Amino acid sequence: MTNITLSIEDSVYQKMRKYSEIKWSEFVRKIIKKRIEQIESIKTNIKDYPFLADEKLLAQDWLSEEDNLAWKDL
């Protein structure tokens, strides 16, 4: 088995320590495995998805100048 190191905020670590009964390493392993399975499922079943969103496209600001003015006070 390979080891990895990750950084978390001190405040999160302090909260984790309150729940010492949880095996955090096991929790993270399961979450990573689940996410990989989800990604692989999407890639395997790509025919079921008409398109996959482009990250650069999603990052664009789609609001017009008029939209920005209308929403500025919210």
Taking the CB of residue 24, how many other CB atoms lie within 10 A of it? 13
pLDDT tens digit sequence for 2-48? 999 999 999 999 999 999 999 999 999 999 999 888 888 877 766 66
> Rounded to whole angstroms, how far apart are CA atoms 34 and 50?
23
Q: Write down the domain spans for the chain.
A: 18-50
Report the predicted TM-score, pTM, of the whole model to 2 decimal places. 0.55
Which 3 state secondary structure label does DSSP give 45? coil
Q: How wide is the angle at C-alpha 40 spanned by C-alphas 35 and 46, nearest 5°?
A: 125
